């Protein structure tokens, strides 16, 4: 009998071809099902990598408390690692994140601190609060997904090679959103090493300034948006702008409508940023400017958004 731990189930997620929502596309659209990781998102990969790195450097000991500023998914991944290796966990989250994410983290044993939806640089911002807690409390280790180089390295060493192998070495474009920027940086670096002609496309929510700051869209003052987990008003430290070739800006309603279609028409139980990535991927595939399939990331599962994206009354209020 195989005796595998939860950590052994991270990665090697399937690559699935879209069938219905991709009608009219000139090249296939494939989706990397990161929502099928044991913690329900691709953040499981970076949680393991960050803890591995800290242990190897001798800065993390059993019984310590991991501290992370998270939209929810990295917190869940770290909760798996904490349970597996004997750590405690404290997660700092902005108020805009769904109640499902908060309750899931608490159920997994994490202490959850909710902050105001403050911009970067504001002392009330969730990243600043996490850094302050880690600095003030003994035996609290800041995992720091937004700055930790283990984040993109995890995707360069695992997600990228998996996609390349699953596509038999033929990828036309790779599409992902950016919260920390780890996924698009790590996968982009690997795919560019294998074939410099692969197009790396940022899927950015309308209201985020990231695409504009990177020079791939008109630079605006930004604005409010309801999509969780991706987009930013500044360039994250672990994001490598040099790997990104272009960006597609997608509004909330288009993202959420596609998310619901992925569930009802493709049987893919995914969250809002997956809808954003697929909308962007379909635009690229319909243009047909790439040599090979377009691969989009399905970052997390629908269970974290049931009271929002999958609630008709909530959706009726989306502009």
Q: What is the pLDDT of residue 1?
A: 44
Q: How many helices (H) and strands (E) does the chain have?
A: 11, 10
Sheet order of strands, 65-69 included? 111-115, 88-94, 65-69, 140-142
**Annotated catalytic residue within 43, 96, 101, 192:** 43
Q: What is the pLDDT of residue 3?
A: 54
Q: What is the pLDDT of residue 279?
A: 98
Q: How far apart are CA 255 and CA 228, in angstroms?
A: 11
Q: What is the pLDDT of residue 6?
A: 87
pTM of the predicted structure, to 2 decimals = 0.94
Give the tens place of pLDDT for each residue, 99-132.
Answer: 888 998 999 999 999 999 888 889 899 999 999 9
- Please name each of the domains of the chain with its CATH number: 6-38+155-315 (3.40.50.1100), 43-142 (3.40.50.1100)
Low-confidence residues in the chain, pLDDT < 70? 1-4
192 is catalytic: no
Beta bridge partners, 114, equal 93
């Amino acid at each position: 009998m195989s005796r595998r731990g939860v950590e052994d189930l991270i990665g090697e997620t399937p690559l699935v071809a879209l069938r219905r929502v991709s009608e009219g596309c000139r090249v296939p659209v494939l989706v990397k099902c990161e929502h099928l990781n044991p913690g329900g998102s691709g953040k499981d990969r970076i949680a393991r990598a960050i803890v591995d790195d800290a242990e190897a450097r001798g800065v993390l000991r059993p019984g310590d408390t991991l501290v992370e500023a998270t939209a929810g998914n990295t917190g869940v991944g770290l909760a798996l690692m904490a349970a597996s290796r004997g750590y405690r966990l404290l997660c700092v989250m902005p108020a805009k994140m769904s109640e499902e994410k908060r309750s899931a983290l608490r159920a997994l044993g994490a202490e959850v601190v909710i902050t105001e939806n403050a911009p970067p640089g504001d002392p009330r911002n969730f990243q600043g609060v996490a850094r302050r807690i880690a600095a003030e409390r003994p035996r609290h280790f800041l995992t720091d997904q937004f700055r930790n180089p283990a984040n993109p390295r995890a995707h360069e060493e695992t997600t990228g090679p998996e996609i390349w192998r699953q596509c038999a070495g033929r990828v036309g474009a790779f599409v992902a959103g950016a919260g920390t920027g780890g996924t698009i940086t790590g996968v982009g670096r690997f795919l560019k090493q294998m074939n410099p002609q692969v197009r790396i496309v940022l899927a950015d929510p309308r209201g985020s300034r990231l695409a504009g700051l990177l020079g791939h869209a008109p630079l605006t003052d930004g604005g409010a948006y309801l999509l969780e987990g991706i987009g930013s008003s500044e360039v994250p430290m672990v994001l490598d702008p040099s790997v990104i070739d272009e960006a597609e800006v997608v509004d909330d309603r288009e993202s959420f409508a596609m998310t619901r279609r992925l569930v009802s028409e493709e049987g893919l139980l995914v969250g809002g940023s997956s809808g954003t990535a697929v909308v962007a991927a379909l635009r690229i595939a319909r243009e047909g400017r790439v040599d090979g399939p377009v691969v989009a990331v399905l970052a997390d599962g629908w269970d974290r958004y049931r009271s929002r994206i999958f609630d008709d009354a909530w959706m009726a209020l989306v502009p």
